[in-house]
Amino acid sequence: VKVALFAGNHGVTAQGVSPYPSAVTVQMVENFRHGGAAINALSNTLGLKLSVLPLSLDMPTGDISVTDAMSVGETLEALNAGARAVDPEADLLVVGEMGIGNTTIAAALCAASLGGNGLDWAGAGTGLDSAGVVHKAKVIDRAMARASVSGPFEILRQLGGRELAAIAGAVCAARARRLPVILDGFVTCAAVAPLFAAEPAILDHCLAGHRSAERGHARLLERFNLRPVLDLDMRLGEGSGGALAAAVVRAAVATHTQMTTFAGAGVSDRAG
Amino acid sequence: VKVALFAGNHGVTAQGVSPYPSAVTVQMVENFRHGGAAINALSNTLGLKLSVLPLSLDMPTGDISVTDAMSVGETLEALNAGARAVDPEADLLVVGEMGIGNTTIAAALCAASLGGNGLDWAGAGTGLDSAGVVHKAKVIDRAMARASVSGPFEILRQLGGRELAAIAGAVCAARARRLPVILDGFVTCAAVAPLFAAEPAILDHCLAGHRSAERGHARLLERFNLRPVLDLDMRLGEGSGGALAAAVVRAAVATHTQMTTFAGAGVSDRAG
């Protein structure tokens, strides 16, 4: 089981959509590398292989409320970075993310892919109060009014972010290799919403690892028609919910493969 | 983490409350010992220590629809067997059970402890159809009409079973040793319902491992005011849901103990 954790920075943080500065993204990547984050503890305890993939953190995307997030070339680069992260030897892939400002990006992708406005999809993220959520929703609405999206590639390019495009690329590459994927929380699921909008069956190889406490996630899972493995009010990102769900899935597979049949164990069948 | 799995046989199977013969209990204990059951696969994969404790399987309890399940001495013996199974070295105890007929016993304990009739608490168990559940409920109602219960010991003695009394004993002994407990499904929870009815705080050291698909379990967890760790439509018993939940709890503890603080990792605090 491999956890691929993508990190990106977002120009939209200029609009004050997160209580934390963008510098936290690179600081958390360092923390992942030194083993101090939640996903490190989970990966160690559960025996998962963690890969951290920062994507041009010193070059944030465009502020989506005023301009496109990425050029065509940058979008392709991010999609391909995600595809390259798919380990052909893995039996299960968990995708996760880190990026200050990316719940704003996630909400914009949901609105552009599935309908609704900013307030339908915006949540507290790393800890906005309700006034902060209303402001965030307005920023998303400005982005939606500005963009002219058509199809998943343009949604990801105009309104997305590098780590979200990478997740979309990884999910597609995993599908091509018949590798099952566990999605983490709201941002991870939002990253594949543009794919789902174009072709719902594209997520048939994906499980929802958990239902996050981030506001839009329950609604998004309903639209995907995915029942989450876990429902523990987690809301951290980093692939943390997906990693924990991977332990449950691995145990289920072990049970399926290791159990003896009733006949094999000499257990009597039903009386009737 | 230790899984204590108690097995017992029940005279009430004479009333046709299970589609499987009582012989399956001892056959499954053999299966546990040979490592062929679901709880073996789960314990192996999750690194849990499994103890299987069969309780006088060749001497089923009395048929509760016509007589008391156990004598005072037998009840004490079962309670003490449970208490003795508590490993003083363990940091977490999962309790589970196996016993053909024991969902009938569990439903009777719930009705006697918390009110309601047979149909309020009876479910499909190992696979009764709806007519079978109605019959099972009538058997429980006959037992309730016959018994004159007062207090947890008498409920367990008159309407209980050895493995359920052992679970009650283990939960009490764990509490005395400040050892947290994960309860498995309907039968395990029903085993402690008589204790809960006498003193609700007696379960304050217990987590509900999961919400089982067995019909009475959701209602019972609501009465306990316990939110289950998992909700996966499991319905096997054997401690299987509790074992899986133990993996989640262990991961949570690892996260709590291993994570660096923001200050320790040099991560910026909130901007505002």
pLDDT at residue A272 greater than cutoff 70 = no
Query: B20: which chain A residues are within 8 Å (Cβ-Cβ)?
Result: 268-271
Chain B contact present for A134, CB below 8 A:
no
Whether residue A267 and residue B45 make contact (CB cut-off 8 A), yes or no, is no
Whether residue B254 and residue A36 make contact (CB cut-off 8 A), yes or no, is no
Whether residue B248 and residue A251 make contact (CB cut-off 8 A), yes or no, is no
Query: A23: which chain B residues are within 8 Å (Cβ-Cβ)?
Result: 268
Query: B41: which chain A residues are within 8 Å (Cβ-Cβ)?
Result: 251, 254-255, 257-259
pLDDT at residue A271 greater than cutoff 80 = no
Evaluate whether B170 touches B95 at the Cβ level (below 8 Å).
Answer: yes
A131-135, A144-148, A268-272: least confidently modelled range: A268-272
Closest in B19, B36, B250 to A264, CB measured:
B36
Closest in B21, B31, B251 to A260, CB measured:
B31
Distance from CA of A61 to the nearest CA of B (A): 20
Whether residue B20 and residue A230 make contact (CB cut-off 8 A), yes or no, is no
pLDDT tens per residue across span A58-101: 999 999 999 999 999 999 999 999 999 999 889 999 999 999 99
Closest in A127, A260, A270 to B20, CB measured:
A270
Evaluate whether B188 touches B97 at the Cβ level (below 8 Å).
Answer: yes
For residue B251, how many C-alpha atoms fall within 13 Å in the half-sphere facing its CB? 29
Q: Across residues A172-196, what is the average pLDDT?
A: 98
By CA distance, what is A129's nearest residue in B?
B272
Distance from CA of A271 to the nearest CA of B (A): 5
Burial class (CB in 10 A: 0-12, 13-18, 19+), B48: buried
Question: For this structure, is A199 an active site residue?
Answer: no
Distance from CA of A98 to the nearest CA of B (A): 13
Query: A31: which chain B residues are within 8 Å (Cβ-Cβ)?
Result: 260, 265-267
Task: Pick from B255, B261, B270 the residue to mutate for testing the A interface (most A CBs within 10 Å).
Answer: B255
Interface of B with A in 29-68 (CB under 8 A): 30-31, 34, 36-38, 40-42, 44-46
List the pLDDT tens digit at each of the 272 positions of chain B. Answer: 999 999 999 999 999 999 999 999 999 999 999 999 999 999 999 999 999 999 999 999 999 999 999 999 999 999 999 999 999 889 999 999 999 999 999 999 999 999 999 999 999 999 999 999 999 999 999 999 999 998 999 999 999 999 999 999 999 999 999 999 999 999 999 999 999 999 999 999 999 999 999 999 999 999 999 999 999 999 999 999 999 999 999 999 999 999 999 999 999 988 65
| CA dist., res. A32 & res. B20, Å (int) | 52
Give the strand order in the sheet containing A93-98: A49-54, A2-7, A93-98, A181-183, A206-208
By CA distance, what is A241's nearest residue in B?
B248
The one-letter amino acid code at A61 reads: T
Query: B37: which chain A residues are within 8 Å (Cβ-Cβ)?
Result: 259-260, 265
Q: Across residues A107-126, what is the average pLDDT?
A: 97
Whether residue A259 and residue B36 make contact (CB cut-off 8 A), yes or no, is yes
Interface of B with A in 163-192 (CB under 8 A): none
Question: Tokens at residue A125, please?
Answer: 């993220």
Distances from the Cα of B112 to the Cαs of A12, A135, B158, B172, B265, in angstroms? 61, 55, 10, 20, 55
Task: Find the catalytic residue in A74, A163, A214, A238.
Answer: A238
Where do the H-state alpha helices sit in A117-185?
A: 118-121, 130-146, 152-159, 162-176
State the Rg of chain B over Cα.
Answer: 19
